[in-house]
C-alpha cells in the first residue's frame, strides 16, 4: 500500500491536522507526511503521544475537525489518561483517528521490549472502547475505503477509531531526508564517555541506538557491559531510573545517558531532578534533534538547548558541547564536581548500517547489571 493512498483517504474524511510520535513501522507514512510540507496537512511531532491527544482535542474545539494521532503501540500507555478522561464519548466526546504501528505482533520476531506490548495492543484498544481495523500489505484500496467509511461514521458520532498497521504495510517510496548541521559522530562521543566513566560509575542508558552503540563500545573497550543498564523500553524514563539508583547510595556515581527525544517525552523529570539535586548524578543528553531509531524524523526540538532548560530548572552545572575535545573537557570538569550536572552533546544524524543488537535478553541484562552493582557492596 502506498502511504499517499492512505493519506488521500485521511484527507477525504476531513482531517487536515496530523500529530504524534514517529514509529519505524510507520516510517513510510511519516516520510509522506513530512514531505507534504504543510500543503495538505498541518503536522506536529509532539513531545509524547498523550500530548498529541491534547492537541487533537484543542483542534476539534476550535475547528470542529477531527485529527489523526499516530504512534507506535508502545505509546498507547501515554494516551490512556487523556483518552479515558477527556476524549471518550462518556466525557467530552472528541472524535479522532489513531494510526498505530504494531510492533511485537504475535508470531513476528521483534525486540524484547515489544513482545508483551504486541500481545496486548488490540486488547488495550478494546478495553478503551476504541473500535479498530488492522491493515497489512495485502489490504486493497477498496478495503481501505471501507475502513475509512467506518472511521467517518465513528467521527460523526464523536467517537474515536484506530487503524492498527502491521509491519511492512506501506511500500517503500521516496524517503524524507535532512541533516542537522552537526559533525560529531554519536558512536565516537559514546566511546569517549565510556572511556572516562565506565570503570567507576554505573550507567543507565535510554532506548534505541544509544544503548545499542554503548553495548558494542563497552564490549570493545572492556570486554563486558556489566555496568550498563540498557533501558530498551519505556522511552523517557531512563533519567528517573537513574535517580532511583543515585538516591540509594550517594557514594556511587550514576550516569544517565539520555536521548533528546526521550528527554523531551517526559521533560518534567528535569525539574524533579533539580529539586532533589543528587550530587552523584551526571545526566548526559545526546542531541541530534531526531527520532533516529525509528526513522530519523525530526523531533519537536526548537533550538532551545536541554542544557539551558536544565540550568533554568536548577541543575548546578551544565555544558553544551559540539566537538570531542569539548566533550572530554566537560567530562573531566563534571566528574570533579560533586553536584547534579548535565552535559548536552550535539551529534550528527548518523549511525552504522551494521550496528548490532544486544545478544542477551532484557532480563539477562538486568541480572548481570545487578550482580556487578551488588558485588561491589
| 69-111 pLDDT tens trace | 999 999 999 999 999 999 999 999 999 999 999 999 999 888 8
Q: Is 62 exposed, middle or buried (0-12, 13-18, 19+ CB in 10 A)?
A: exposed
What is the pLDDT, as a whole number, of residue 37? 67
Q: Kindly report which listed range (116-120, 266-270, 354-358) carries the lowest average pLDDT score.
A: 354-358
* Interval 351-368 mean pLDDT: 89
Number of H helices, E strands in the chain: 14, 14
Residue 174 CB contacts under 8 Å (≥ 6 apart), including other chains = 31, 35
| 230-265 pLDDT tens trace | 998 888 999 999 999 999 999 999 999 999 999 999
> 201, 177 in Cβ contact below 8 A?
no
In angstroms, the CA 165 to CA 233 distance is: 20
Sorted by where each begins, the domain ranges of the chain are 3-165, 186-375
pLDDT band at 350 (very low <50, low <70, confident <90, very high): confident
What is the pLDDT, as a whole number, of residue 353? 81
Separation in Å, CA 252 to CA 197, 203, 372: 12, 11, 13
> 15, 67 in Cβ contact below 8 A?
yes
How is 307-339 classified by DSSP, letter by letter? HHHHHHHT-SEEEEE-SHHHHHHHHHHHHTS-S
| 10-52 pLDDT tens trace | 999 999 999 999 998 999 999 999 887 678 899 999 999 999 9
Residue 321 CB contacts under 8 Å (≥ 6 apart), including other chains = 327, 329, 330, 343, 344, 345, 346
How is 235-246 classified by DSSP, letter by letter? TT-HHHHHHHHH
* Interval 292-302 mean pLDDT: 73
> 3, 29 in Cβ contact below 8 A?
yes
Shared fold status for 3-165 and 186-375: yes
- The CATH number of the structural domain formed by 3-165 is 3.40.50.970
What is the pLDDT, as a whole number, of residue 84? 96
Separation in Å, CA 333 to CA 196, 249, 306: 11, 22, 19
Q: Kindly report which listed range (45-54, 174-183, 257-266, 327-336) carries the lowest average pLDDT score.
A: 174-183
- The CATH number of the structural domain formed by 186-375 is 3.40.50.970
| 267-282 pLDDT tens trace | 999 999 999 999 999 9
- Check pLDDT > 90 for residue 181: no
How is 51-118 classified by DSSP, letter by letter? HHHHHHHHHHHHHS--EEEEEEGGGHHHHHHHIIIIISTTTT---EEEEEE-TT-TTS---HHHHHHH
H helix runs in 101-249, sequence order: 112-127, 141-156, 186-197, 209-222, 238-246
Amino acid at each position: 500500500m502506498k502511504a499517499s493512498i492512505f493519506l488521500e483517504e485521511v484527507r477525504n474524511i476531513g482531517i487536515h491536522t496530523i500529530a504524534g510520535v514517529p514509529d519505524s513501522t510507520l516510517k513510510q507514512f511519516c516520510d509522506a507526511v513530512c514531505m507534504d510540507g504543510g500543503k495538505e496537512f498541518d503536522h506536529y511531532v509532539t513531545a509524547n503521544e498523550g500530548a498529541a491527544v491534547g492537541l487533537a482535542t484543542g483542534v476539534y474545539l476550535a475547528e470542529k475537525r477531527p485529527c489523526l494521532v499516530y504512534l507506535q503501540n508502545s505509546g498507547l500507555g501515554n494516551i490512556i489518561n487523556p483518552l479515558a478522561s477527556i476524549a471518550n464519548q462518556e466525557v467530552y466526546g472528541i472524535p479522532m483517528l489513531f494510526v498505530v504501528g504494531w510492533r511485537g505482533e504475535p508470531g513476528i520476531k521483534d525486540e524484547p521490549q515489544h513482545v508483551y506490548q504486541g500481545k496486548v495492543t488490540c486488547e488495550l484498544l478494546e478495553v478503551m472502547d476504541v473500535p479498530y481495523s488492522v491493515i497489512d500489505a495485502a489490504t486493497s484500496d477498496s478495503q481501505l475505503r471501507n475502513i475509512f467509511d467506518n472511521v467517518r461514521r465513528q467521527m460523526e458520532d464523536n467517537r474515536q477509531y484506530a487503524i492498527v498497521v502491521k509491519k511492512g504495510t506501506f511500500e517503500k517510496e521516496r524517503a524524507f531526508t535532512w541533516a542537522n548541521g552537526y559533525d560529531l559522530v554519536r558512536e565516537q562521543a559514546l566511546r569517549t564517555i565510556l572511556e572516562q566513566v565506565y570503570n567507576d560509575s554505573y550507567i543507565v542508558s535510554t532506548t534505541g541506538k544509544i544503548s545499542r552503540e554503548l553495548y558494542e563500545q563497552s564490549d570493545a573497550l572492556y570486554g563486558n557491559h556489566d555496568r550498563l543498564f540498557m533501558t530498551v523500553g519505556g522511552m523517557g524514563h531512563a533519567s528517573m531510573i537513574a535517580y532511583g539508583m543515585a538516591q540509594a547510595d550517594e557514594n556511587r556515581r550514576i550516569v544517565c545517558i539520555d536521548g533528546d527525544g526521550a528527554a523531551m517525552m517526559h521533560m518534567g523529570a528535569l525539574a524533579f531532578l533539580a529539586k532533589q539535586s543528587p550530587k552523584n548524578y551526571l545526566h548526559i543528553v545526546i542531541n541530534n534533534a531526531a527520532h533516529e531509531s525509528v526513522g530519523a524524523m525530526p523531533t519537536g526540538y526548537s533550538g532551545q538547548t536541554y542544557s539551558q532548560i536544565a540550568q533554568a530548572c536548577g541543575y548546578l552545572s551544565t555544558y553544551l558541547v559540539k566537538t570531542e575535545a569539548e566533550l572530554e573537557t566537560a567530562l573531566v570538569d563534571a566528574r570533579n564536581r560533586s553536584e547534579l550536572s548535565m552535559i548536552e552533546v550535539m551529534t550528527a544524524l548518523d549511525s552504522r548500517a551494521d550496528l548490532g543488537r544486544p545478544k542477551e535478553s532484557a532480563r539477562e541484562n538486568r541480572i548481570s547489571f545487578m550482580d556487578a552493582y551488588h558485588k561491589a557492596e
